[in-house]
Amino acid sequence: MYFTEIKLRNFRNYKEQTVSFHPKVNIITGNNAQGKTNLLESLYIMSLGKSFRTNKDAEMIGFEEGFCSAKSTYMKEGRERSVEIILSRVGKSIIIDGSKAKKSSELLDKIYIVAFTPEDMKIVKDEPERRRKFIDRELCQLKPVYYKNLARYKKVLIQRNSLLKEGSCNEELMEIWEKSLAEYGSRIIIERKHFVDKIKEVSKEIHRSITDEKEELDLFYEASVPYMEKREDLQSAFIEKLKKERKRDIYRGNTGYGPHKDDLKITIDGVDVRNYGSQGQQRTAALSLKLSEIHIIREEKKEAPVLLLDDVLSELDEKRQKFLLNNLSDVQLFITAAEMKGNLWNSLPDKRIFKVEEGNANSCCDEILEEKRFDNDKI
Ligand SMILES: Nc1ncnc2c1ncn2[C@@H]1O[C@H](COP(=O)(O)OP(=O)(O)O)[C@@H](O)[C@H]1O
Ligand SMILES: [Mg+2]
């Protein structure tokens, strides 16, 4: 699938603008703080209705404006389709192919996006939350039912936590929350474990190939509740654990076990990369994971996702940049970069280049590109 156009109104620093995209490669250049990442963000929200920079939707509304909208047009299975997201200070509307959606979850399974940002570079090094989010986002794109279970789990977790904070325990109510928590939680854990088993094989291959067969990447899902293959067993073990730890949870005022505490362990040649890997290894592992994400979506959905690369190319060495760009011939790419240095761009055959200035994205014609290329060569 690929985007053909985005129409923005009051979206961050874009007032009113329509941008038409190239089906293969779109390079977005411009100085800092002009709107390059904002443009990627407007595309990103099309997949799950959420930004990669903020949990507060209203931050995307232009300063001093009451609402904003982003309408994307895209091609999928040979047909032109559209998704429009309208944000006001009080809520969000989603319009899919001209009809208003009743729930955000209707967005699922429409547009597949993988984003790779400087934040994702920290996936290996950061706290477990980032790795959980990585798995969750991917599973939400792959399985709408996962999205629902996750939302239910989060809701029940809040309810159990507020009961814990009250201190004196209402046994009956507590048991109800714990049963639901274990039910949704066990579904989440099993899906995550299966996903990790899948991405482990893919990323192992990719990582081998990036490192010229020198490094062996491995992934393990680390569940905070003893893992069991059968869901009913896992659910019972989870209930047991919650019951056993209830006193401690009351003392802490929150739930100490469950998918919201799990982690993804990443090793290279058997050594934990988070604690012992070099920065280079951590970045390469992040790259392998991102490329695996693309691979899995392509396999499961029979459709290549769109890839957004926000300021990450410059953080990879030339070899890894080439590996990335050469392995994505069927993927529509959006690449932001403050400057276009080196010959990397010349190796991309079909592309459109945009210059972003103060919330205006204008495509440059190919002649300008030729001049720029010439200038670069002289330098
Ligand atoms: N809600 C908003 N309304 C208007 N302008 C915004 C909003 N949010 C961010 N901006 C502006 O967008 C600019 C940053 O855009 P960004 O896309 O992150 O820049 P870059 O080109 O460096 O990627 C800043 O000038 C910031 O003030
Ligand atoms: Mg930026």
Q: Are the C-beta atoms of 160 and 174 separated by less than 8 Å?
A: yes
218 lies in a domain? yes
CA of 61 relative to ligand 1 center, distance in Å: 11
Q: Which of 184, 189, 134 is nearest to 159 (CA)?
A: 184
pLDDT of residue 236: 97
pLDDT tens, 74-84? 999 999 999 99
pLDDT of residue 342: 62
In angstroms, the CA 153 to CA 130 distance is 18
To test the pocket of ligand 1, the residue of 13, 37, 314 to mutate (highest count of ligand atoms within 8 Å of its CB) is 13
Same domain? 267 vs 313 = no
184 lies in a domain? yes
Same domain? 337 vs 239 = no
pLDDT of residue 377: 40
In angstroms, the CA 47 to CA 108 distance is 7
Pick the atom of ligand 1 nearest to 310's CA.
23
Residues with CB under 5 Å of ion ligand 2 are 36-37
Same domain? 66 vs 148 = no
117 lies in a domain? no
Which residue, of 302, 324, 354, is where some domain finishes?
302
pLDDT of residue 155: 97
Lookup result for tokens 């984003």 = 115
Same domain? 156 vs 280 = yes
Pick the atom of ligand 1 nearest to 356's CA.
21
Same domain? 149 vs 30 = no
Of the two residues 85 and 350, the one the predictor is more confident about is 85
Same domain? 92 vs 186 = no
pLDDT tens, 152-180? 999 999 999 999 999 877 899 999 999 99
Four-point Cα dihedral 125, 312, 113, 203, nearest 10: -50
Same domain? 310 vs 180 = no
CA of 158 relative to ligand 2 center, distance in Å: 34
Same domain? 214 vs 351 = no
pLDDT tens, 179-210? 999 999 999 999 999 999 999 999 999 999 99
Which residue, of 253, 272, 302, is where some domain finishes?
302
CA of 118 relative to ligand 2 center, distance in Å: 10
Question: Could you tell me the residue range of the domain that residue 26 belongs to?
Answer: 1-112+304-379
Which ligand has the minimum distance to the alpha carbon of residue 34? 1
One-letter amino acid of 237: A
Q: What is the mean pLDDT of residues 360-378?
A: 55
> In the predicted model, is pLDDT for residue 365 greater than 60?
no
Residues with CB under 6 A from ligand 1: 12-13, 30, 32-38, 59, 61-63, 356
Pick the atom of ligand 1 nearest to 62's CA.
3
Percent of the chain clearing pLDDT 70 (strictly above): 94
pLDDT of residue 346: 73
Domain count, the chain: 2
pLDDT of residue 349: 72
65: number of CA atoms within 13 Å, CB side? 20
pLDDT band at 348 (very low <50, low <70, confident <90, very high): confident
CA of 311 relative to ligand 1 center, distance in Å: 15
pLDDT tens, 82-137? 999 999 999 999 999 999 999 989 999 999 999 999 999 999 999 999 999 999 99
CA of 223 relative to ligand 2 center, distance in Å: 35
Same domain? 295 vs 322 = no
In angstroms, the CA 199 to CA 203 distance is 6
Of the two residues 341 and 13, the one the predictor is more confident about is 13
pLDDT band at 28 (very low <50, low <70, confident <90, very high): very high
Contacting residues for 40 by C-beta, under 8 A, at least 6 apart: 28, 115, 308, 310, 334, 336
pLDDT tens, 250-271? 999 999 999 999 999 999 999 9
Q: Which of 49, 41, 38 is nearest to 13 (CA)?
A: 38
Which residue, of 269, 302, 335, is where some domain finishes?
302
Residue with CA closest to ligand 1 atom 17: 35
Query: Lowest mean pLDDT: which of 217-221, 222-226, 240-244, 345-349?
Result: 345-349
pLDDT of residue 313: 85
Same domain? 357 vs 286 = no
Same domain? 148 vs 271 = yes
The CATH code of the domain that includes 348 is: 3.40.50.300
196 lies in a domain? yes
CA of 37 relative to ligand 2 center, distance in Å: 4
90 lies in a domain? yes
Which ligand has the minimum distance to the alpha carbon of residue 35? 1
Same domain? 154 vs 70 = no
pLDDT of residue 202: 97
CA of 30 relative to ligand 2 center, distance in Å: 9
Residue with CA closest to ligand 1 atom 26: 33
In angstroms, the CA 23 to CA 329 distance is 11
Q: What is the mean pLDDT of residues 37-46?
A: 98
264 strand-pairing partners: 221
Which ligand has the minimum distance to the alpha carbon of residue 8? 1
Which ligand has the minimum distance to the alpha carbon of residue 356? 1
> In the predicted model, is pLDDT for residue 378 greater than 90?
no
The CATH code of the domain that includes 256 is: 1.20.1050.90
211 lies in a domain? yes
Q: What is the mean pLDDT of residues 294-318?
A: 92
pLDDT of residue 375: 43
- Give the per-residue SS3 of the chain: CEEEEEEEEEECCEEEEEEECCCCEEEEECCCCCCHHHHHHHHHHHHHCCCCCCCCHHHHECCCCCEEEEEEEEEECCEEEEEEEEEECCCEEEEECCEECCCHHHHCCCCCEEEECCCHHHCCCCCHHHHHHHHHHHHHHHCHHHHHHHHHHHHHHHHHHHHHHCCCCCHHHHHHHHHHHHHHHHHHHHHHHHHHHHHHHHHHHHHHHHCCCCCCEEEEEECCCCCCCCHHHHHHHHHHHHHHCHHHHHHHCCCCCCHHHCEEEEEECCEEHHHHCCHHHHHHHHHHHHHHHHHHHHHHHCCCCEEEEECCHHHCCHHHHHHHHHCCCCCCEEEEECCCCCCCHHHCCCEEEEEEECCEEEEECHHHHHHHHHHHHHC
pLDDT of residue 88: 97
pLDDT of residue 318: 85
Residue with CA closest to ligand 1 atom 16: 35
pLDDT band at 374 (very low <50, low <70, confident <90, very high): very low
